[in-house]
């Protein structure tokens, strides 16, 4: 910092590896899908309303038995 007043060049230096929390959710996806929405079967395309108590990946498709995904 040339003048010691914090006006030096941006983006240079070692940094501390901490972020301010302004980023994407796990695995680069959405922050969180929320309580609403649908669970969709990747095999047959069937979709059912999402249950707030259970993640879509733990729900089996009622038509073909494949684990569902959020969609």
Per-residue model confidence as pLDDT tens digits over 40-50 = 999 999 999 99
pLDDT of residue 5: 74
The span from the CA of 8 to the CA of 1, in Å, is 4
Are the C-beta atoms of 50 and 56 separated by less than 8 Å? yes
The span from the CA of 41 to the CA of 38, in Å, is 10
Q: Can you read off the two tokens belonging to residue 11?
A: 């983006």
pLDDT digits 0-9 by tens, 6-64:
676 666 656 565 555 555 555 555 555 667 899 999 999 999 999 888 999 999 999 99
Residue-range domain boundaries for the chain: 35-71
The span from the CA of 16 to the CA of 11, in Å, is 12
Burial of residue 55 (CB within 10 Å: 0-12, 13-18, 19+) is: middle
């Amino acid at each position: 910092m040339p003048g010691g007043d914090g006006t030096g060049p941006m983006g240079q230096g070692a940094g501390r590896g901490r972020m301010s929390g302004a980023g994407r959710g796990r695995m680069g996806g959405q922050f969180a899908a929320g309580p609403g929405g649908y669970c969709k079967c990747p095999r047959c395309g069937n979709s059912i309303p999402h249950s707030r108590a259970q993640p879509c990946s733990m729900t089996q498709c009622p038509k073909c038995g494949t684990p569902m995904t959020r969609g």
